[in-house]
C-alpha cells in the first residue's frame, strides 16, 4: 500500500507520524520566561499545564500516557525532591528552581520531538533527542514498575509507598533488599544525571 503525506493547517501526517507544526502552546510564553517576579505557585501551575499538554505525545498507549500523568502528579504534588537530593549530595542545587523546571520541560520536549536526521547531522542534536527519548521511556517503565510494586503491598509491616515515594529508603540503603537495590541504583543514577543536566526528572 502506498502512503501519501497529508498536510493540514496544524500538522503533517505520514505513514508513521503525526507531526504537529504549531508548538507555541507547549512552551511558556516569552513574558513568563522573563518575568522573575512571578510567584512560585503561579509558575508551577504554568509549567504543570505545559507538561500535561505533552501527554498525547508520550505514547499511543493509554497505559503509558496514564503512567506519565501519575508521574507528573507525584512530582508536582507529593515528592520532596530536596530530601531526595540531600541523600546523595550535601551541596545545595547549582541553579534556581525555575531553571530546573525549564530544563526538565526542555528534556521532555526533546524526547517527544521529531527532527529530521541527515547524514551530516546524524550525531548532532537529533542523536541527543534520541537519547532523551530513551532515558524518558526507561524512566516511565521504571515508574510503572515502582507503582505496581507499591500497589502489590502485602500483609507485612513494610510500607512501599513510604519507602519509595516519601522517605526514599531505597536510596539510603539500597542493599537492604533486591527491590531496594533495583530501584535505588536507578534513582541514584537519575539523581546524578539531574545534577549534571540541572533537571528534576
Partner 1 sequence: MNCSRKLVKELLIKKRQGILAVEPTPIESIPLSPLVTNFERWSDKRRKLYFEDDKTMLDEGLQDFKLENNVFASMLASPMRCERLTRQRVPKDLLIQLKLQKLPDVQGAKHSLKLVPTALHQKGNKSSYLLNSGKIIKKNAKLSPSWIPIPALLSGMRYFKVSDVFIDRDNFLEEYSKETQEYLESELNKVKNYETVLRNWSIVVAYDEGNTNSIELLSMGALEILKLNLGCLGCASPLRQIVEFKSNHDLGLVLELPRDEKIVKLLYRLLACFSSSR
By CB under 8 A, what part of segment 96-125 binds partner 1? 102, 106-107, 109-110, 112-116, 121, 123-125
Among 48, 74, 76, 89, binds partner 1 (CB under 8 A): 89
Q: Which stretch binds partner 1 (CB under 8 A): 37-45, 73-81, 154-162, 188-196?
A: 188-196
- 197 lies in the site for partner 1, by CB under 8 A: yes
Rounded to an integer, what distance in angstroms lies between the CA atom of residue 148 and that of residue 161? 11
Residues 162-181 that bind partner 1 (CB under 8 A): 174-175, 177-179, 181
Question: x/- site string to partner 1, residues 14 to 33, per CB under 8 A?
Answer: xxxxxxxx-x--xx-----x
Rounded to an integer, what distance in angstroms lies between the CA atom of residue 165 and that of residue 161? 5
**φ and ψ of 148, to 5 deg:** -60, -40
Q: Which is nearer to partner 1, 45 or 53 (CB)?
A: 53
Answer yes or no: are the C-beta atoms of 63 and 52 closer than 8 Å.
Answer: no
CB of 111 to partner 1, least distance (A): 10
Residues 55-74 that bind partner 1 (CB under 8 A): 56-57, 59-60
Among 132, 165, 168, 169, binds partner 1 (CB under 8 A): 132
Among 5, 91, 92, 156, binds partner 1 (CB under 8 A): 91
How many CB atoms are closer than 10 A to CB 96?
11
Among 35, 82, 99, 128, binds partner 1 (CB under 8 A): 128
Rounded to an integer, what distance in angstroms lies between the CA atom of residue 155 and that of residue 2? 57
Answer yes or no: are the C-beta atoms of 164 and 150 closer than 8 Å.
Answer: yes
- The residues, ordered by sequence, that sit 6+ positions from 186 with a Cβ below 8 Å of its Cβ are 142
Which of 151, 62, 50 lies closest to 105, judged by CA? 50
- 42 lies in the site for partner 1, by CB under 8 A: no
3 state SS of 184: helix
- 95 lies in the site for partner 1, by CB under 8 A: no
Amino acid at each position: 500500500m502506498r502512503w501519501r503525506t497529508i498536510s493540514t493547517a496544524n500538522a503533517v501526517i505520514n505513514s508513521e507520524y503525526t507531526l504537529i507544526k504549531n508548538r507555541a502552546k507547549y512552551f511558556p510564553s516569552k513574558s513568563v520566561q522573563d518575568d522573575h517576579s512571578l510567584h512560585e505557585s503561579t509558575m508551577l501551575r504554568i509549567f504543570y499545564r505545559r507538561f500535561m499538554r505533552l501527554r498525547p505525545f508520550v505514547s499511543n498507549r493509554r497505559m503509558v500516557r496514564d503512567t506519565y500523568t501519575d508521574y507528573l502528579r507525584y512530582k508536582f504534588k507529593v515528592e520532596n525532591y530536596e530530601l531526595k537530593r540531600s541523600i546523595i549530595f550535601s551541596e545545595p542545587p547549582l541553579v534556581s528552581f525555575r531553571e530546573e523546571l525549564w530544563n526538565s520541560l526542555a528534556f521532555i520536549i526533546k524526547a517527544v520531538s521529531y527532527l529530521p536526521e541527515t547524514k551530516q547531522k546524524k550525531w548532532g542534536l537529533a542523536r541527543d533527542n534520541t537519547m532523551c527519548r530513551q532515558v524518558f521511556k526507561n524512566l516511565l517503565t521504571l515508574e510503572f514498575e515502582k507503582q505496581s510494586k507499591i500497589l502489590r503491598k502485602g500483609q507485612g509491616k513494610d510500607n512501599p509507598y513510604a519507602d519509595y515515594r516519601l522517605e526514599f529508603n531505597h536510596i539510603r540503603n539500597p542493599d537492604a533488599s533486591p527491590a531496594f537495590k533495583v530501584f535505588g541504583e536507578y534513582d541514584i543514577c537519575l539523581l546524578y544525571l539531574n545534577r549534571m543536566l540541572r533537571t528534576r526528572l
